[in-house]
Structure 1
Amino acid sequence: MTIYDEREKMAEQQYVMQIEKAFRVRARRDRLLANWMATLLGRDIERCLEEIIETDFSRGEEGILKKLEHDIGVLGLSDAHDLIREKMHKYLADAVREVEASIGQ
């Protein structure tokens, strides 16, 4: 194996690790959001998680924001957009810390 082969293999491994980390962070963030929503709405956590994951895959983060705005709208909360955006940022930061701690970074 040449030095170029080794570098290529290392670059591929780093890429895979970055993708896996990003996936784990997003999955953890989604779980935290689902827990918050389920508590807020008095719903099942797993069902909330399924809905968030489905929305994330089909419409991305903006889709999650709109879905959660709709769900919270039932409660009559004003400024739901800012509240949800704040929670999404907080839970993303929490997820990054948790995932990095679990992989020792």
Structure 2
Amino acid sequence: MTTFDKRQEGFEKKFALDEEQKFKAEARRNRMLGLWAAEKLGITGDAATAYAKDVVAADFEEAGDGDVLRKVLGDFSAKGVAVTEQAIRAKMTELLAVAAIEVKAGK
């Protein structure tokens, strides 16, 4: 194996690791967002945990964050909770930063 091949293999492994960490961070962010939203909706205990799992599952409907945003925003609207789309997006950004740190730390 040449030095170039080893370098290419290293880049491929790093890319795969980065993508895995990104996926884990987004899933963790969605779980934390679900728990945050559950609190705003007045959901507690096991029901809050179940709601957070529903938010995580919503992310598999389509690429990007739009599906998660629509779910939470729709649930807020249905329950009359006054939280704007911008506030949800800001919370998602905040929680993604926290989740990325936790994933990198191996938590």
Amino acid at match of 1:48: Y
Give the corresponding residue for 1:47. 50
Distance in 2, Cα, partners of 1:79 & 1:48: 17
- The structure where helix makes up a greater share of residues is 1
Give the corresponding residue for 1:14. 14
- For 1:17-96, list aligned pairs within 5 A: 17-41=17-41, 42=43, 44-59=47-62, 60-96=64-100
CA displacement at 1:79 relative to structure 2? 4.3
Amino acid at match of 1:27: A
TM-score, normalising length: structure 2:
0.80
Aligned residues: 103
Give ranges in structure 2 of 5+ residues lacking alignment: none
Distance in 2, Cα, partners of 1:20 & 1:79: 31
Give ranges in structure 1 of 5+ residues lacking alignment: none
